[in-house]
Amino acid sequence: MSLIEVLAAMAILGIGLAVLIQSVARCLEVVHKTRNYETARYLFQRLNLEHPLGVNEQIADGVQEGQFDEPHEGYTWIREITSIGLETEPLYQVTTRITWSDDGGRESSQETTTLVFKPEYVQGSNRR
């Protein structure tokens, strides 16, 4: 009877260890993904400081893109500016996307969309 009990205990222990190892691996994967998204949030802030949206000049439709230097060389960014207002209402939609590759080669990204209103740039306006 004791041999059967030992085999049953070994089977239960093996199943428990397999579940534990799988749980730890999943937790490490979540930590890695969270780190990537936190890095992307930091890079959004850095991008807005290095490439501000028309603070002193007019915003124009178009696409800007680039890459980050070390230690974030695996991250790229693209910013699309689209006019969605009338000529008398200069309203712009700014979509910024930061993209990176995961360890498995799968591409991930984080995107923000902002609306920018610049009334001082209405054509024929005296304001400045």
Q: Could you state, in order of their start, the residue ranges of all structural domains in the chain?
A: 2-121
Scored b (16 or more CB within 10 A) or e, 4-32 reads eeeeeeeeeeeeeeeeeeeeeeeeeeeee
Measured CA to CA in angstroms, residue 127 lies from 52, 60, 116, 119 at distances of 21, 18, 17, 8
Closest alpha carbon to 98 in 84, 87, 89, 110: 110
Q: Model confidence over 50-88: pLDDT tens digits?
A: 888 766 667 788 899 999 988 888 899 999 999 887 777
pLDDT of 27-48, one tens digit each?
999 999 899 999 999 999 999 8
Whether 2 shows a pLDDT value over 50: the answer reads: yes
Please name the residue that has the structure tokens 């004791």. Answer: 2
Nearest alpha-carbon partner for 118 in 51, 61, 46 = 61
Whether pTM > 0.75 for this model: the answer is no
